[in-house]
Amino acid sequence: MLANGTESHSTIVLKNCHRCGQEFRSDYKDRICSICRMPKERDGKPTSQHLSFREKQIVDLICQARQNKEIAYQLHLSEGTIKEYLNRIFRKISVKNRTELAIWALTRRVSVADTSLRLTSAEAQ
Ligand SMILES: [Zn+2]
């Protein structure tokens, strides 16, 4: 029985969020999960801690104590680009430096491996 007057034709489906790759349930045409859809917090708070695939790659390398030069080489990007990515990541997750970033990543187990698995399953659909 429908408790709150939901349309009878609505179907709950499991989707992969296009933003963060997480699976979520939706009965709408949403392509992103409710977490990503949440409106921006009031000023001062970071909007989202979602990292892009590229950002996670960089976080992974930071966790391996790589220098910007090495990261740039490995990802075929310029050192300046790596710095831009890093600054963006720092702002996103509210850390001041790469050491804090590494700690943040390790405690949250942010990993490219996890992301690529999710991306693969999303693309297979
Ligand atoms: Zn999401």
pLDDT tens sequence across 26-68 = 876 788 888 888 766 554 444 567 889 999 999 999 999 999 9
How far apart are the CA of 47 and the centre of ligand 1, in A?
12
How far apart are the CA of 15 and the centre of ligand 1, in A?
10
Q: How far is CA 91 from CA 30, 49, 72, in A?
A: 27, 9, 20
How far apart are the CA of 59 and the centre of ligand 1, in A?
19
Residue ranges of the chain assigned to CATH 1.10.10.10: 53-123
Report whether pLDDT(13) > 70.
yes
How far apart are the CA of 84 and the centre of ligand 1, in A?
23
How far apart are the CA of 120 and the centre of ligand 1, in A?
16
pLDDT tens sequence across 80-106 = 999 999 999 999 999 999 999 999 988
CA distance 27 to 13: 6
* CATH fold of 53-123: Arc Repressor Mutant, subunit A (1.10.10)
